[in-house]
Amino acid sequence: MDDRMFRNAMGKFATGVTVITTELDGEVHGMTANAFMSVSLNPKLVVISIGEKAKMLNKINESKKFAVNILADEQKEVSMMFAGQIKEKRDIEFDRLGDLPVIKDSLANISCKVYSQHVEGDHTLFIGEVTDIVLRDGEPLAFYEGKYREIAKLVDVN
């Protein structure tokens, strides 16, 4: 099967957008990711999926910890920056959550220590055990059919 067909199919699954952050030897690294899922309540586990070419892979392999920052609708530029879609280098001021750097003004900052990891195809799945959470009110940034989206109005359908 052709890659484009696979990506088009996966792109039909509307997701939020996160920036994964970690710190190694005092240096902060961030990367935009939409492959994020809640895994278990007891213990509290989440999963992220990091491509084999991403610099983030070795960073988390060594630091053994990461934070998931769920972005708000006004943070599209933040997502573009940490996906390498904006080229000029910018100085970012990070907040802290325990021993991890986190993105300011996110809807959620979730700090994790690596619980297990699994190489699957060209990605590594990191299962993270959640150590701390900070929440804020706001509307989510969304990603659908390869494009950033805003959910115009959150409507309850139940």
Residues at the interface with ligand NAD (CB under 6 A): 7, 10-11, 34-35, 49, 51, 143, 146
Among 23, 30, 112, 130, binds ligand FAD (CB under 6 A): 30
| Position 49 contacts ligand FAD (CB under 6 A) | yes
| Position 72 contacts ligand FAD (CB under 6 A) | no
CA-based end-to-end distance of the chain: 38
Among 51, 61, 76, 144, binds ligand FAD (CB under 6 A): 51
Spell out a b/e string for 65-82, using b for 16 or more CB atoms within 10 Å of the CB, else e: bbbbbbbbbebbebbebb
| Position 128 contacts ligand FAD (CB under 6 A) | no
Q: Pick between residue 93 and residue 156 the one whose CB is nearest to ligand FAD.
A: 93
**DSSP-assigned states of every residue in the chain:** --HHHHHHHHTTS-EE-EEEEEEETTEEEEEEE--EEEEETTTTEEEEEEETT-HHHHHHHHH-EEEEEEPBGGGHHHHHHHTT-S-S------EEETTEEE-TT-SEEEEEEEEEEEEETTEEEEEEEEEEEEE----BEEEETTEEEE-SS-----
Q: Pick between residue 59 and residue 97 the one whose CB is nearest to ligand NAD.
A: 59
Give the total of residues touching ligand FAD (CB under 6 A). Answer: 23
What is the phi/psi pair of residue 8, to 5°? -60, -40
| Position 84 contacts ligand FAD (CB under 6 A) | yes
Among 24, 28, 125, 151, binds ligand FAD (CB under 6 A): 28
| Position 70 contacts ligand FAD (CB under 6 A) | no
Stretch that binds ligand FAD, among 2-10, 65-73, 79-87, 131-139 (CB under 6 A): 79-87
Binding site for ligand FAD (CB under 6 A): 17, 28-35, 49-51, 54-56, 81-84, 89-90, 92, 143
